[in-house]
Each structure stands twice: as C-alpha cells, then as structure tokens.
Amino acid sequence: MEITKIKEKFEELYGPGAAFYTSPGRINLIGEHTDYNGGFVLPGAVDKALYVAIKANGTDKVRAYAPDENPDKVAVSSEFGLEEANRPKERWAQYIFGVAREMTKRGKKINGFDIVISGDVPLGAGMSSSAALESAVGFALNDIFNLGFDRFELALIGQATEHNYVGVKCGIMDQFASCFGKEGSLIRLDCRSLEYEYVPFNPKGYKLVLINTRVAHMLGGEYNERRESCERVVAAIAKKHPKIEFLRDATLDMLKDVANQVSSLDYIRAEFVIEEIQRLLDACEALKKDDYETVGKKMYETHTGLSRKYTVSCDELDFLNEIAKECGVTGSRVMGGGFGGCTINLVKAELYDAFIAKATKAYKEKFAIEPLVYDVVIKDGARKL
C-alpha cells in the first residue's frame, strides 16, 4: 500500500511524526472541449491517487522527495526556499513550490516542511496526475498550517499553480474533480459559473475501464486552433444575437444562420461543441434514471463527433473504439483533449474479460504496441488519511 511505502521513506529521511494526505486522479465520462466554450463537464475522482507524507520542519526550507512521481528523471530529492527567487529546477518540485507560493500570495504564512510524495496515477494517461499532486499538497499545507482555505479555493490554487509555475493554461476541471470528488457520484460542473451538482454513478453490473494507446498527447497548436474556431463562430453569431458569449449559449439554428459567414471547418467544429453540450445534459438525465445504455450511446456519439467533426482522434483511438463496438461494449470514446491518450469504456461485467483480451491482442498486432489497461472506480476527493 502506498501509505506504508511513503511512511517508511519519510521516517528514513526525516524521522517520525508525519501526517498523511491523498488526492485522486480523475476521469471525465463525457463532455470534451466544452470547458472553454462555457459548457459543462462530467468528471469524477478515481481510485488512482497521489499520497503525501508531510511535517513542518521549523525552518524556512522545503525538503522534498519523490521516488516515482518524477517525470524529470533528474533527481528524486529537492531542497528549496519559499521565496519567489528560490524556485526549484526540478519540474515535479515546481508543483509543490507553486502551491506554496500561491497560498502565500493569498496572504497566508507557510513555513518550511518536509514532504514525501508517491502515487499510482498513471503519467500521460489523461487522468491528471498533476492536479492530484497540486490538490494533495494544497490540502496538506492547508491543514498543517491551519490556513483556512475551503475546497473551492484549493482548486483555484492548483489551477493558478499550473498557470504561473508550470506554464499550462488549464481549465478548472481537473483540480475541481480532485478536490470535490465523491464516491458513487460524478460532478456536473458548469465551466462558466463554476456551479456544480453531484450526479449518481452506480453502474451495477458494469465496469469502467481505460485503455491507454500509449500515443503521446500533442495538444499545443492543434488545441488552440480549435478554440479559435469556436471563438470566430461566437463572434459571427453575436452580431445577430449580442447576448451570446460562448457556444454554450448558442443553438444549432443560430449556427445555421451564420453558415455563410464562417468557414466550413469552423462551422463543423462549432456544431460538435453545441451537440456535445446537449449530449452531456442528456447523459446526466440518463444517469439519474440508472439508464446506462443511453449513457453508452451518448459516449459513442461523442467519439464519432470528436473523430469526424472536431478531428482530435487518431487511428489508434478509432481502432480501439471500433473493437469496443464489435465486443458489445456499452459505451466507448476518446477521453481528454485527443491526439492520443486513452479510450474510456463502459462495459458489462460479463463482457469485460473478452473485450480486454481482444482489444489488447488486436491492438498489439495492428500497432506493435502493448496497450495499458486501467480499471477505475469512482472515489472521494482530497482528504487526510
């Protein structure tokens, strides 16, 4: 168990007396590229998490150790101060430093501390290991120094860390899911107002499984292009409907009205987003009725839209989606920004073994890569252990 591992390592390095915290990775069942369009997302915290052992050390320095949550492969330990000029070189340590700095910017006093981090959130699988790290560190510092931040503020601190210390201009979904996750529920998050609602997710007789293509995400310019497409369409619609600020506010009829004023590429991308926002709302209503067949149908529709209209899929993801259909999987789609990563699959328990066997065998034969399989269960968010 991770907690035993980090307890032993902490005591070996820094002595006894640590407190322990955890924060999970996340999945998003449906709702892709809707966040920056003012729409909704439907994430949930999962049973893959980051774990932290931490103790104030009475100095003005941080001593950090990360045996496996260390994508730099440079050093597993880092020591740094808490002033802006003390920013560590190791990327993984910058998350810890950034959270502490963002808390300091909000008028709180943080002293030196010792910290060991470890976890089992897969890196590069689209399960937001970085948000899990930010939330775990934030929750821990908030508690041991009695800072008084609520969960919403901790999510914003994690997002600000990404923006200001990691250089990723992410939305709020990942940190929100890590902080607000609830066992047996997904979170319908309004990305415009940040209002949220827990939606029941108790898929008895089904399993939720991710299959990692092991194709690297390459978002960058492609991501920005699609965002700009959406913004151009909103600008065109707003000339006739001044109250429209996001595609979330637009209808398909409004989009049709400006068809001759935008490019065909911008049009079809906007069409996907408007349809996707409605699909998410329909999926939420189906979940409230335990109608997982409808949820699965919506997941397949999302994949088709992401592949053919928003064009953010790839051959590997489309291949796994087709295998899922052939195996009778209830729902399957690309999860995340696209261009690689995982498919998320809702599969009946009795079909699970046959599906995984066929998918892994066929994928390896086709692409000469062994895909990675992650079973996930929806669990609680950040907490003290």
Q: Which residues are catalytic?
A: 174
Taking the mean position of all CA atoms in its chain, how far away is CA 91?
A: 19
**Structure tokens that stand for 153 in this block:** 């503020």
Q: Would you tell me how many other CB atoms lie within 10 Å of the CB of residue 357?
A: 11
Q: Which residues contact 318 (CB under 8 A, 6 or more apart)?
A: 307
End-to-end alpha-carbon separation of the chain, Å?
Answer: 13
Which strands sit side by side in the sheet containing 113-119, from one edge to the other?
Answer: 77-81, 61-65, 113-119, 43-56, 19-28, 383-384
**Which residue is it, tokens 């195996």?**
327
Taking the mean position of all CA atoms in its chain, how far away is CA 385?
A: 23
Contact between residue 214 and residue 198 where contact means Cβ atoms under 8 Å apart: no
How far is residue 259's CA from residue 271's CA, in Å, rounded to a whole number? 11
